[in-house]
Amino acid sequence: MSVQPQVRLGINLDHIMTIRQARFTAYPDLKQAIEMVEHVGADSITLHLREDRRHIQDEDIVLAKQVNKSNMNFEMAATGEMRDIALNIKPQDCCIVPEHREELTTEGGLDVVKHQSHIKELVAALSAGNIKVSLFIEPNLKIIDAAVKTGAPVIELHTGTYAGTQGLAQQKELQRIEVATKHAISLGLVVNAGHGLHYENVSSIANIVDMYELNIGHSIVARALFVGLGQAVKEMRSAMDCIE
Ligand code: PXP
């Protein structure tokens, strides 16, 4: 009986940094966050340096590469600025995502059919820098076929629609992701997935045959509040009660 290897867990740290950027404080500390998630078994860390720098900052990327002991996945828009930053920092992985200024979070996947030649050039430049490139795309067979033509070895399937639906609609989307995964693997791609995954909806995606890695951020940071809020209050009480 063959045993399916454990799906890797990549932790997206953007939302921890959103808290820091809301006040421009020195905390929460990125180095501490990286060390903590790696200590408990994160296989990879993801940071998305957005054009508007709303959470991760340029210096965070440098620091993350220095302290990261697992694997660093640099999420980036398909721009020359981001390509140059990636080639300078040299993370192990880059995930190319679409980016729109006003969006709350990454909405939809890359339109690889429309932007195939631009993405192909970008993949070639990053690959020449020894970076493994992944394309964040919808679970759509035509887009997967276009992704193969860009030379990217990895795709990350957008699970946002799956996460945002329920019942029959969610089952249909799950099937679409399963079919897309099988198709991509038959073409030699490595398949990751992510976006909107949380504790209740993750297992169906994690159980897809040959799924390589899931990238998850928001739900973990949200859950961390309630796993840690009581302790944080106790520590503040004790700091207040400390006699000098
Ligand atoms: N993968 C990609 C490409 C993303 O853009 C995001 C969100 O930044 C995630 C995974 C993680 O999504 P979430 O924070 O909803 O878990």
* DSSP letter, residue 131: P
Helix (H) or strand (E) holding 190: strand 190-194
Whether pLDDT at 169 is above 70:
yes
pLDDT at 204 over 90: yes
Residue percentage of the chain with pLDDT more than 90? 93
SS (H, E, C) 4-52: CCCCEEEEECHHHHHHHHHHCCCCCCHHHHHHHHHHCCCCEEEEECCCC
Ligand 1 center–CA 125 separation, angstroms = 24
- Ligand 1 atom closest to Cα of residue 220: 16
For residue 241, report the distance from its CA to the centre of ligand 1, in Å.
40
Q: Which atom of ligand 1 is nearest to the CA of 215?
A: 10
Q: Report pLDDT digits (tens) over 208-220.
A: 999 999 999 999 9
Distance in Å, CA 8 to ligand 1 centroid: 15
Cβ(95) – ligand 1 distance below 6 Å: yes
Cβ of residue 10 lying under 6 Å from some atom of ligand 1: no
pLDDT at residue 150 tops 90:
yes
Q: Does residue 76 have its Cβ closer than 6 Å to ligand 1?
A: no
> Is ligand 1 within 6 A of the CB of residue 99?
no
Distance (Å) from CA 12 to ligand 1 centroid: 7
| Mean pLDDT rounded to a whole number for the chain | 95
Decide: 75 in ligand 1 pocket, CB within 6 A. yes
pTM of the full structure: 0.94
| Cα distances (angstroms) measured from residue 145 to each of 101, 116, 184, 191, 209 | 28, 11, 8, 13, 20
> Comparing C-alpha atoms, which of 147, 214, 220, 229 is closest to residue 185?
147
Catalytic residue list: 48, 75, 195
